[in-house]
């Protein structure tokens, strides 16, 4: 059957956030990621796959394609049998429960994907993103999250307003904060990680009392910062490590 012109146009448009939002669809690729999505509450729109991809989906959802056609629509170096369109689920509201991670203006899709995987590992089921954080349905985020996307409630909102209205204990990752290893952290609360270059915005910083940092151990004082995903990993580990 192959890929129709209108399908190709749709797929191409989905590299842009505005068209993902307009159509309510996003792209996921490769056996592992697509199977994780198929086994989740996410709803599949269409899959394009080579003949050796096994699927129980109804025929009207499945388009068989050649390796060449798959390569044409794929953004991966080595396309892996299946390319799919899924429906973007509705966002759910955030509950004050457990540890919540909040991201202020994270730019890099790889970082967001890694952070989503991290949340999944540590049982953090709620992730708040400021409106200027990279879209979690960006294709690079979807691939980097490796299916963890399906298990986390991700909500985009005005982070400054949310924090100012929240009564949940809130912590900011900040270079000048208290040594995390010497801080008594609660089991529940919000941990805010900031932009790769600028950290958490001043407006939000001014609203939050608790600031925590990962101490530097290097002899020199020149390492400017940790990557935001590795810093998040260490901080989340500190919130979670004590039973």
Q: Which residues bind a second copy (CB under 8 A)?
A: 36, 110, 114, 117-118, 120-123, 125, 146-148, 151, 181, 214, 216-220, 222-224, 226-227, 229-234, 237-238, 240-242
Contact partners, residue 89, CB within 8 Å, separation at least 6:
41, 42, 43
User: Minimum distance from CB of 141 to a second copy (Å)?
Assistant: 13
Strand arrangement, sheet containing 25-29:
25-29, 82-87, 44-49, 62-64
User: Minimum distance from CB of 152 to a second copy (Å)?
Assistant: 10
117 phi and psi, to 5 degrees? -60, -40
Say if CB 14 and CB 26 are below 8 A apart.
Answer: yes
Q: How far apart are CA 195 and CA 190, in angstroms?
A: 16
User: Minimum distance from CB of 148 to a second copy (Å)?
Assistant: 6
Q: What share of the chain is helix, strand, coil (3-state, %, to 5)?
A: 35, 25, 40
Cα angle 134, 10, 156 (rounded to 5 degrees) comes to 25
User: Minimum distance from CB of 234 to a second copy (Å)?
Assistant: 5
81 or 117: whose CB is closer to a second copy? 117
2 or 98: whose CB is closer to a second copy? 98
105 or 231: whose CB is closer to a second copy? 231
86 or 239: whose CB is closer to a second copy? 239
User: Minimum distance from CB of 172 to a second copy (Å)?
Assistant: 19
Q: Half-sphere exposure (CA, 13 Å, Cβ side) for 91?
A: 15
User: Minimum distance from CB of 55 to a second copy (Å)?
Assistant: 20
Angle formed by the axes of helices 228-240 and 109-121, to 10°?
A: 10
Q: How far apart are CA 13 and CA 20, in angstroms?
A: 8
32 or 160: whose CB is closer to a second copy? 32
93 or 220: whose CB is closer to a second copy? 220
User: Minimum distance from CB of 209 to a second copy (Å)?
Assistant: 23
Strand partners, 100: 190
120 or 135: whose CB is closer to a second copy? 120
Q: How far apart are CA 151 and CA 197, in angstroms?
A: 28
């Amino acid at each position: 059957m192959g890929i129709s012109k209108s399908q190709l146009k749709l797929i191409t448009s989905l590299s842009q956030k505005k068209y993902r939002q307009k159509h309510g669809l996003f792209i996921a690729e490769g056996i592992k990621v697509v199977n994780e999505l198929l086994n989740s509450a996410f709803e599949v729109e269409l899959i394009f796959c080579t003949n050796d991809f096994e699927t129980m989906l109804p025929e009207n959802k499945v388009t068989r394609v050649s390796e060449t056609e798959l390569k044409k629509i794929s953004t991966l170096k080595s396309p892996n049998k299946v390319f799919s369109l899924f429906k973007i689920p509705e966002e759910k509201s955030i509950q004050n429960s457990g540890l919540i991670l909040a991201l202020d203006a994270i730019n890099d899709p790889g970082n967001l994907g890694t952070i989503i995987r991290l949340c999944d590992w540590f049982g953090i089921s709620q992730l708040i993103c400021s409106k200027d954080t990279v879209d979690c349905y960006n294709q690079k985020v979807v691939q980097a999250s490796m299916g963890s996307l399906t298990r986390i409630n991700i909500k985009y909102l005005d982070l400054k307003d949310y924090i100012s209205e929240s009564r949940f204990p809130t912590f900011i990752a900040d270079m000048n904060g208290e040594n995390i290893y010497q801080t008594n952290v609660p089991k529940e609360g919000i941990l805010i990680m900031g932009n790769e270059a600028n950290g958490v915005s001043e407006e939000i910083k001014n609203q939050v009392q608790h600031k925590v940092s990962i101490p530097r151990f290097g002899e020199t004082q020149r390492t400017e910062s940790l990557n935001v995903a590795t810093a998040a990993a260490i901080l989340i580990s500190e919130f979670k490590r004590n039973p």
